[in-house]
Chains A and B, each alone.
Chain A
């Protein structure tokens, strides 16, 4: 539709290596698709010089395409979204990881899916269709599927991938959800979907491939599992 603009929120912390690459991919796929867009980099005071690289990217691609809205220190994802939304000039918002685990090639699919059903939010799923992951061992896959199964049984959320963070929201929808959500980390993403259902927002899904950690290791330790279960039980008891 004429006038649709897509704002991509990229919260970053120590993504000096990945930021230029994700921006290059975003520019490539948005450029090819012809949709109007902007990329908002929300850096939380990264000590590795992420902001400096972001400034270089701004010079290359233009200040209308790359917006820098940094913060002084690590303040968490929920507030990063709130901060980003304030500066977004689009009527749609993409949220995604800046570490190349989410690939911008899916962006046109998200947009088409949204238009197809006028969905309030479109969620990328690793668990359906030809969605999937790369770089996960058996243990990780088992934990992921087990946790997802538990979540489906307890919350019956109407979406197949609750902890995923590659999503497209109508701006107003994201605003109203973020102000209602109180959890952190994985559980925050789960809570967003659960609250969306409570408010009768419509949810579409797009299968995505999740490539784990091109540069470095991502671990799922006992701590994260415990806090996930705590968060899940809290949502179970309060929503």
Chain B
């Protein structure tokens, strides 16, 4: 199954469950509180996911390692390499 299909199945399942509870489609006579809680769920979940995404990406950008040492080391090794290659006869 492709990821797209997995998502469609997952979303359909959640929406059907939500509709059954919110609109009492199966005449389950659930307590009023269930319906009150279920009704705004899709919106809550979307907004929560949006916040989670922003927080996660923000955190990851803020903690993205800056490899200063690696850059310095590379610059030094480049000098060393050029010198050594020159000695070995490389004409750049």
Contact = CB atoms under 8 A, between A and B. Distances in A.
Interface of A: 17, 20-21, 24-25, 53, 56-57, 59-60, 100, 103, 127, 130-136, 138, 141-142, 144-146, 148-149, 153-156, 209-211, 214, 235-239
Nearest to A59: B89
A149 B90 contact: no
Contacts of B64: 127, 132-133, 136, 141, 144-145
Contacts, number: 91
B74 to A, nearest CB: 5
Contact of A60 (B53, B56, B57, B88): B88
**B-side interface mostly:** helix
Contact of B53 (A24, A103, A149): A149
B47 to A, nearest CB: 16
Given A60-B89, A145-B64, 14 more contacts: A20-B82, A20-B92, A21-B82, A56-B90, A60-B88, A132-B66, A134-B66, A144-B64, A149-B53, A210-B67, A211-B74, A214-B74, A235-B3, A237-B3
B65 A236 contact: no
